[in-house]
Structure 1
Amino acid sequence: MRKKYINFKALLAILLVFSILPWNHANAEIAKSTFDPFEKSIDEVTKALDTKQITSEELVKYYLKRIEAFDKQGPVINSIIAVNNQALETAKALDTERKSKGPRSKLHGIPFVVKDNFDVVGMPTTAGAVALKNENPTKNSFTVQKLIDAGAIVIAKTNMSELAASYGRLGYSSMGGLTINPYNLSRDASGSSSGSAAAVAANFAVFGLGTDTSGSVRGPANVTGLVGIRPTMGLTSRSGVVPSSLSLDVTGPLARSVEDASLVLTAMAGTDKADYATKSANRYVQDYAKALNASSLKHARIGVATDFFGGNDEVDAITNQAIAKMKSMGTEVVPVTFSKQTKYLWTPVLGPVGDAEFKIQFEKYLRSLPAGGPKTLQEVIDISESPEVLNSATPVNPARLEGLKTALAKADTLYSNEYKKIVKKEMPQTRKEIEKIMKKNNLDAIVFPTMACPASNRFDKEDPTYVCNAYDTYAASYVASATGFPEVTVPAGMVEAGVPVGISFLGTAYSEQTLLNLAYSFEQATKARTVPVHTPNLRP
Structure 2
Amino acid sequence: MFRKMVASKVLLTIFFVTITMPFQSVYAEETEFNPFEKSIDELYLALNSHKITSEQLVEYYLKRIEAYDKNGPAINSIISINDEALEIAKELDAERESKGPRSKLHGIPIVVKDNFDVSGMQTTAGSVTLKGNYASQDAFTIKKLKEAGAIILAKTNMSEFAASFGRLGYSSLGGLTLNPYNLKRDASGSSSGTAAAVAANFAVFGLGTDTSGSIRGPANVTGLVGIRPTLGLTSRSGVIPSSLSLDTTGPIARTVSDAAIALSIMAGVDQNDYATLAAKNHIVKDYSSSLDKNSLQTARIGVATDFFGGNAEVDAVIDKAIGKMSRMGSEIVPVTFSETTKYLWTPILGPVGDAEFKVQLEKYLNRLDGNFPRTLQEIISISESEEVVNSKTPVNPARIGGYKTALEQAPYKSSAEYMKKITIEIPNVRKEIERIMEQNELDAIVFPTMSCPASPRFDQEDPSYVCEAYDTYAAGYVASATGFPEVTVPAGTTSDEMPVGISFFGLAYSEQKLLNLAYAFEQSTNARTLPSNTPELK
- Shorter-chain TM-score tier: over 0.9
Residue 303 of structure 2 corresponds to 304
Deviates further, 283-292 or 338-347: 283-292
Letter of the aligned partner of 2:444 in structure 1? A
Q: Give the Å deviation of 1:280.
A: 3.0
Residue 113 of structure 1 corresponds to 111
Q: Secondary structure at the match of 1:280?
A: helix
Q: TM-score, normalised by structure 1?
A: 0.93
- Given that residues 497 and 533 in structure 2 are in contact (C-alpha distance below 8 angstroms), is that contact kept between their aligned partners in structure 1? no
Q: Secondary structure at the match of 2:326?
A: helix
Residue 454 of structure 2 corresponds to 455
For 1:129 and 1:507, the matched residues in 2 are separated by 34
Q: Give the Å deviation of 1:371.
A: 3.0
Write the deviation string for residues 156-193 of structure 1: whole angstroms up to 9, x where unpaired. 00000000000000000001000000000110000000
Kindly indicate whether residue 144 of structure 2 is the aligned counterpart of residue 146 of structure 1: yes
Write the deviation string for residues 427-458 of structure 1: whole angstroms up to 9, x where unpaired. 00000000000000000000000001000000
Q: Give the Å deviation of 1:368.
A: 1.5
- Given that residues 345 and 479 in structure 1 are in contact (C-alpha distance below 8 angstroms), is that contact kept between their aligned partners in structure 2? yes
Q: Structure 1 residues 463, 538: CA separation in 2 closer, same or farther (over 3 Å shift)?
A: closer
Kindly indicate whether residue 74 of structure 2 is the aligned counterpart of residue 76 of structure 1: yes
Residue 47 of structure 1 corresponds to 45
Q: How does 1:498-513 map to 2 (within 5 A)?
A: 498-513=497-512
Letter of the aligned partner of 2:35 in structure 1? P
Q: Give the Å deviation of 1:282.
A: 3.4
Letter of the aligned partner of 1:253 in structure 2? P
Write the deviation string for residues 445-473 of structure 1: whole angstroms up to 9, x where unpaired. 00000001000000001110100000100
Residue 227 of structure 1 corresponds to 225
- Given that residues 200 and 537 in structure 2 are in contact (C-alpha distance below 8 angstroms), is that contact kept between their aligned partners in structure 1? no
For 1:351 and 1:92, the matched residues in 2 are separated by 46
For 1:507 and 1:151, the matched residues in 2 are separated by 31
- Given that residues 360 and 411 in structure 1 are in contact (C-alpha distance below 8 angstroms), is that contact kept between their aligned partners in structure 2? no
Kindly indicate whether residue 376 of structure 2 is the aligned counterpart of residue 377 of structure 1: yes
- Given that residues 209 and 247 in structure 2 are in contact (C-alpha distance below 8 angstroms), is that contact kept between their aligned partners in structure 1? yes
Letter of the aligned partner of 1:108 in structure 2? H
Q: Give the Å deviation of 1:401.
A: 0.6
Write the deviation string for residues 483-532 of structure 1: whole angstroms up to 9, x where unpaired. 00000000000112221000000000000000000000000000000112
- Given that residues 354 and 406 in structure 2 are in contact (C-alpha distance below 8 angstroms), is that contact kept between their aligned partners in structure 1? yes
For 1:497 and 1:240, the matched residues in 2 are separated by 40
Letter of the aligned partner of 1:49 in structure 2? L
- Given that residues 226 and 251 in structure 2 are in contact (C-alpha distance below 8 angstroms), is that contact kept between their aligned partners in structure 1? yes
For 2:522 and 2:485, the matched residues in 1 are separated by 18
Deviates further, 364-373 or 445-454: 364-373
Letter of the aligned partner of 1:163 in structure 2? F
For 1:349 and 1:203, the matched residues in 2 are separated by 37
For 1:203 and 1:409, the matched residues in 2 are separated by 42
Paired residue total: 510
Kindly indicate whether residue 91 of structure 2 is the aligned counterpart of residue 93 of structure 1: yes
Q: Give the Å deviation of 1:31.
A: 11
Residue 104 of structure 1 corresponds to 102
Unpaired stretches in structure 2, ≥5 consecutive residues = 1-27
Q: How does 1:413-492 map to 2 (within 5 A)?
A: 413-492=412-491
Q: How does 1:348-363 map to 2 (within 5 A)?
A: 348-363=347-362
Q: Give the Å deviation of 1:130.
A: 0.5
For 2:260 and 2:312, the matched residues in 1 are separated by 31
Deviates further, 362-371 or 218-227: 362-371
Q: Give the Å deviation of 1:536.
A: 4.9
- Given that residues 355 and 411 in structure 1 are in contact (C-alpha distance below 8 angstroms), is that contact kept between their aligned partners in structure 2? no
For 2:209 and 2:47, the matched residues in 1 are separated by 29
Letter of the aligned partner of 2:51 in structure 1? Q
For 2:142 and 2:39, the matched residues in 1 are separated by 20
For 2:532 and 2:399, the matched residues in 1 are separated by 32
Residue 125 of structure 1 corresponds to 123
Percent identity, aligned pairs only, is 70
Q: Give the Å deviation of 1:372.
A: 1.6
Q: Give the Å deviation of 1:410.
A: 1.2
Residue 159 of structure 2 corresponds to 161
Q: How does 1:492-531 map to 2 (within 5 A)?
A: 492-531=491-530
- Given that residues 359 and 411 in structure 1 are in contact (C-alpha distance below 8 angstroms), is that contact kept between their aligned partners in structure 2? no
Q: How does 1:1-400 map to 2 (within 5 A)?
A: 33-286=31-284, 287-400=286-399
Letter of the aligned partner of 2:338 in structure 1? S
Q: Secondary structure at the match of 1:293?
A: coil
Deviates further, 274-283 or 203-212: 274-283
Q: TM-score, normalised by structure 2?
A: 0.93
Q: Give the Å deviation of 1:264.
A: 0.1
- Given that residues 485 and 506 in structure 2 are in contact (C-alpha distance below 8 angstroms), is that contact kept between their aligned partners in structure 1? yes
Q: Give the Å deviation of 1:369.
A: 1.4
- Given that residues 32 and 52 in structure 1 are in contact (C-alpha distance below 8 angstroms), is that contact kept between their aligned partners in structure 2? no
Residue 9 of structure 1 corresponds to none
